Amino acid sequence: MTDAASFEQIRYEVADGVLTITLNRPERLNAWTPVMQNELIAAADLWDADDDIRAVVVTGEGRGFCAGADLAKGGETFDWKDRGGTPRDGGGQFTTRLFDSTKPVIAAINGPAVGVGMTMTLPMDVRFVAEGAKLGFVFARRGIVPEAASSWFLPRLVGISRAMEWVATGRIFTPEEGLEAGLFRAVLPPDELLPAAYALAREIADNTAAVSVALARKLMWTGLGLSHPMESHRADSRAMYSRGQSADAVEGVTSFLEKRPASYPDKVSDGLPDVFPWLDAPEFS
């Protein structure tokens, strides 16, 4: 792999169209800090701007994925009064940025993931987890609440009942329980975790049109918040109208008829059509 950017608390490595983001504070079980937050947001800006990146895999260095927020400040860890007003939650700044990613993101949860270590993965598109990993939405056991917009993401992934069970108890749960609830794609031995994530990333990178994947991701995630199927129909129709006239569509059909691999020319960096012109992106206030 080759480094495409230098960071302090994450690694950013690109190889053959797949970006690996590695949380890199193994001495603290990759605990979340403001530095890590800002670096992850900067990394998302970089990967969205790079047409050579087709998929992103996020994992942790060492024996953990992310042990949650770094508690080095003790009881003052979550006291934000010195920030003034109503400050934005750091995890939510990352997850709302990830919501807008134009590249599919795959989590390879290689060990313990609690608190923000779990909520940061919720807007990722697919989650693989290692056998034996300790997992939990532990906020109520720390006197705080779920953050990172997880009250929007988690019930949509596993349903309100399971989401409230995990959040209200704050208990540690097993990968198998998360798999049964639909939170994970697979529970794997540690040595099979990254290969599975990379195999999925390769399937995307080798077979699909980048603009189509980016647009489909926007349709799917935005669609979770729409009020009626007609809104999805309006957006889908706009997307089909745009894509149907593209060079990618010509190549996709022609390559299929000619029984050869496709080579899609369109680039995400050239922009996506506005398929939700009636929606305004909300601002934090």
Q: What is the pTM of this model?
A: 0.94
* CA–CA distance, 58 with 21 (Å, rounded to integer): 5
Given this model, what pLDDT does residue 6 score? 87
Residues 6+ away with beta carbon under 8 Å from 285:
none
Given this model, what pLDDT does residue 2 score? 44
Give the model confidence (pLDDT) of 103-140 as tens digits.
Answer: 999 999 999 999 999 999 999 999 999 999 999 999 99
Structural domains for the chain: 2-205 (3.90.226.10), 209-270 (1.10.12.10)
Give the model confidence (pLDDT) of 236-275 as tens digits.
Answer: 999 999 999 999 999 999 999 999 999 999 999 999 999 9
- Please tell me the number of Cα atoms within 13 Å of 225 on its side-chain side: 12
From residue 88, alpha-carbon distances to 92, 188, 213, 281 in Å are 7, 35, 30, 16
For CA atoms 151, 156, 158, 164, the dihedral sign is positive
Given this model, what pLDDT does residue 87 score? 86
